[in-house]
Chain A
Amino acid sequence: MIDSKLSPILTVKELQKQFGGHVVLSDVNLIVQRGSIVSVLGRSGTGKSVFLKCLAGLLEPDGGEIRFDSGGTNTSRLRCSYLFQANALFDSLTAFENVALPLEQTTRFGTSEIERAVAAALRTLGLEKFAEYYPAQLSGGMQKRLALARALVTRPALVLFDEPTAGLDPPARHSVFSMIIRYKEEYDFTALVVTHDVSEALIFSDRVALLEKGRIYFEGNPADFAASDDSVVRSFGDNAITDSASRDW
């Protein structure tokens, strides 16, 4: 699935984060290969979102190192986008304005170039007819696609997905992961997905990592995860594996 010759786009070493003495991340190590889809699994409250926010620069790690392909550490997040669990769309801006925002604010593109790029992103995600709609006028799935359009319009090398399927029914969850696969090919990005949706993650990911007690407890391909005899891995994945087995993953 992954070309092993590809270089890592993200390397996390001994990442630590605590809040008022409560250790959330104690020693997280992870390597993400360029062009892959890596899912970070874990129970609620194990620090998956904290991990992602450290990567995105929204939280300052207490220790450890985050290295991106640019070679910079911690603060260097070259061409990295973040898809929030609740989308974080600007409710006072239209769909068009939401997608245009990062281009207007971070590039030297002219108005016509921005209009072309935004129209293309909206068209790709099937939202061209809703350009003048406000986020509140769109359905949950359309909002998710709009957030993805905004994340992809700057052509990021790495996209961080925070619980992209939270609160969605099984068909919608499946379509979100399908969407990630589809646009990953089209936009050529690497995806790091934080989720507790084990069954979908095992189907769509190239690698899975299980975050448990502040560290990466398991890291490997989905087949190894499913075949693991480890009690922690099994207890986490049993239901999902049973569920997804019926879909011939």
Chain B
Amino acid sequence: MLRLLQMVGRRSLVTVAGLGEFADFVSRALVAAPTARQLGKGFARAINEQGVRCLVVITIVALFAGLVLGLQGYYVLARFGSAGLLGTFVSLTLTRELAPVLASLMIVGQAGSAIAAEIGVNRNSEQIDALTTMGINPLAYLITPRLLAAVFVFPILTTAFAFVGIVGGYLSGSVLLGLDAGVYWSAARSSVDFGDIRECLLKALVFGLLTIAICCHSGFNTHRQIGASGSRAVGISTTRAVVLSSIATLASDYLITSFLV
């Protein structure tokens, strides 16, 4: 029993220390922003990395998510004679929940994993040490632009996700199943209010900062992987980044929703 308590205590201390170290990492990267040289160049590269490259996958996933929502929603609502509420169902579901969560998971899968792997390779091949010896702050050069880009990219891609998803719902509900288009769009437009949009954008912002910070932190600390080094450590860092980011997305989604609902 005592051993169990000791183990739990030790693990708890390690977890708290890890969280503290993560918070320190993120704050140092953000504080470095005013002194970062050529921040615009790094920011543009990060926008391309997280935004432009993810646009296609976001569009495809959003379209299919909307199509499925329209299909399922239509048959469920039709059972209760409320097929006319399909627009409300699709738009609210997407705006409040699915768009921020799915967009975040997609960006993590596409860009977050690449960020963790790239920074992991930077670490393994001593490129981060090289920055330090050149007098360049590695956090300002590698991390700050990516965190700042996430603040812009996640809300924009989430908005795009919601819009394409609502169009998907229209395609399955109205074009394929015959619901009147006017009824669909009218319900979709009138049901989403300012509070829903605020919740959507707030979630996107939090998910963006949190997940990209986790991916950067995981890659940056590739050399600290216990029991692995080299390419295996990069692989573990990348997997860890995606898993932790996904959990963080869903956990913070629950917390934000419970505070805002």
Contacts and interface: CB of A to CB of B under 8 A. Distances in A.
B125 A86 contact: yes
Interface in A69-84: 80-82, 84
Interface string B126-150: 1101101111100001000000000
B121 A102 contact: no
Contacts of B127: 88-91
B37 interface: yes
B258 interface: no
A154 B126 CA distance: 20
A156 B195 CA distance: 57
B129 A58 contact: yes
A106 B135 contact: yes
Contact of B126 (A57, A80, A86, A105): A86
Interface residues of B, number: 16
A154 B134 CA distance: 9
B121 A81 contact: no
A24 B129 CA distance: 20
A104 B37 CA distance: 7
Contacts of B6: none
A82 B37 contact: no
Interface in A118-170: 150, 154
Interface in B201-239: none
Given A88-B125, A90-B127, A92-B118, A56 B133 contact: yes
B126 A106 contact: no
A89 B130 CA distance: 8
Given A84-B126, A88-B126, A88-B127, A106 B136 contact: yes
Interface in A85-100: 86, 88-92
B190 interface: no
A57 B131 CA distance: 12
B254 to A, nearest CB: 37
Nearest to A162: B126
A81 B134 contact: yes
Nearest to B141: A105
Contact of B37 (A81, A88, A106): A106
A197 to B, nearest CB: 20
Nearest to B37: A105
Nearest to A79: B135
Nearest to B130: A88
Nearest to B121: A91
A82 B134 CA distance: 8
Interface string B234-257: 000000000000000000000000
Contacts of A56: 132-133
A51 to B, nearest CB: 15
A101 interface: yes
B133 to A, nearest CB: 4
A102 B133 CA distance: 10
Given A88-B125, A91-B125, A106 B133 contact: no
A105 B130 contact: no
Contacts of A58: 129, 132-133
Contacts of A90: 122, 127, 130
Given A86-B125, A92-B118, A57 B132 contact: yes
Given A104-B38, A105-B37, A106-B37, A88 B129 contact: yes
Ranked nearest first, the 9 interchain pairs of A and B with the lowest CB-CB distance are: A82-B133, A88-B130, A88-B126, A102-B134, A105-B136, A105-B37, A106-B135, A56-B133, A84-B126
15 contacts: A53-B129, A57-B133, A58-B129, A58-B133, A80-B133, A82-B133, A86-B126, A88-B125, A88-B129, A89-B130, A101-B136, A105-B38, A105-B135, A105-B136, A106-B134
Interface of A: 53, 56-58, 80-82, 84, 86, 88-92, 101-102, 104-106, 150, 154
